[in-house]
Amino acid sequence: MEWEEFWNSLIREHKLTQKVLEMNQVDALKGHPDNIEKICHYIYEDYKVWKCECEAVKKEIWNTIESFGGVHLHTSRIKTQESLIEKVIRKRYEWLGNDYSKYANISVENYRDIITDLVGLRLIINYRGHWLDLHKSIISEFPIDCGSVYKENVLLPHQQGRNIQAELPKVYYAEGDDTQEYIAAGLIVKQHKKNYRSVHYTVSFHGVYIEIQVRTIYDEAWSDCDHSYVYKEDANRSHTALEQLSGILAKLTNLSNDIGEWMKDIYDSEAILDNQEKGWKTSADEINKLNKMLDRMNAVENDLRNFKNKMTIIETFE
């Protein structure tokens, strides 16, 4: 009874009925021994037990990294059973029909090695400039193995007695971001079509895969907003409008990041000096930086005006 109530509630609240029906049809045509509900049920029961081990590992890894410098805030979480099963359904549906996809073949036997964010840590920094020092600390504790092995394996297997980077670290960036520092540090750079910004590390720690995310306080605020109102909420009737607003907010977020970095640079170098009642004295370089920021602000204003121009008032709103 517990499972039936859980399953029916999950499908209803996350609007997954159509996805489940389509997967069942494909599985029936292929003669798959288990439908998506059975697959999820097996995973649900296994994770109910294994989740306790994940909790213990999460506490242990915090003891390992709590001394890392440059961290402004930090959070951690263990995936809930609801979040895990919802992800299994969504990712299997996304790769439905691709027999070579790990998600298309997910099962209770392999889900622990496919979904690598069952344990998640998030390290929030004030400025992007703090990233490199934190990166060095993470790599020191979870070293990158011989570079060639990452080409041969999508995800490195756990190694007895060693904590390692299970994948090469990657940074997700938005259009227009400067990625040279990340490339120089050996990260994989991936432009995110939804403007998501974050550095991701997948580490193998005591036989458990853990995802560590590093991002600024500005990117964290945008991510929380986008995750709450856009990500996975495509059934909402305002989804397209929310998606466009999220893109506009992402541009403002990036500008906020750069202004914060600029403030730090000004503080460190005293680049803008008080000139009594006449304002400030500075260099042409600082003026150029400000002019570029103003251009970006004007572009965001144009985006908002274009958004407004698409709106029409209706007398009855349902």
The pairing of beta strand 198-205 with beta strand 164-165:
antiparallel
Give the confidence band of 233 by pLDDT, cuts at 50, 70, 90: low
With respect to residue 157, please indicate whether it lies within any of the assigned structural domains.
no
Average pLDDT taken over every residue of the chain: 90
How many other CB atoms are there within 10 angstroms of residue 105's CB atom?
16
Enter the tokens of residue 141. Answer: 């504790």
With respect to residue 168, please indicate whether it lies within any of the assigned structural domains.
no
Q: What is the pLDDT of residue 315?
A: 74
Give the confidence band of 304 by pLDDT, cuts at 50, 70, 90: very high
* CA–CA gap between residue 159 and residue 96 (Å, rounded): 32
In degrees rounded to 5, what are phi and psi of residue 197? -130, 125
With respect to residue 264, please indicate whether it lies within any of the assigned structural domains.
yes
With respect to residue 221, please indicate whether it lies within any of the assigned structural domains.
no
DSSP run (H or E) holding 300: helix 284-309
Domain that holds residue 51: 1-67+80-113
3-state class of 216 per DSSP? strand
Average pLDDT over residues 278-297: 92
* CA–CA gap between residue 115 and residue 49 (Å, rounded): 16
3-state class of 117 per DSSP? coil
Contact 215/223 with Cβ under 8 angstroms? Answer: yes
With respect to residue 31, please indicate whether it lies within any of the assigned structural domains.
yes
With respect to residue 26, please indicate whether it lies within any of the assigned structural domains.
yes
Residue entry with tokens 């402004």: 72
Domains in the chain, number: 2
With respect to residue 93, please indicate whether it lies within any of the assigned structural domains.
yes
* Residue 259 Cα distances to 60, 127, 189, 210, 266, angstroms: 37, 10, 23, 32, 10
With respect to residue 23, please indicate whether it lies within any of the assigned structural domains.
yes
Contact 3/41 with Cβ under 8 angstroms? Answer: yes
* CA–CA gap between residue 196 and residue 173 (Å, rounded): 6
pLDDT in tens, 151-164: 766 789 999 889 99
Give the confidence band of 317 by pLDDT, cuts at 50, 70, 90: low
pLDDT in tens, 56-82: 999 999 988 888 888 888 899 999 999
* CA–CA gap between residue 161 and residue 125 (Å, rounded): 30
Q: What is the pLDDT of residue 92?
A: 95
End-to-end Cα spacing for the chain: 37
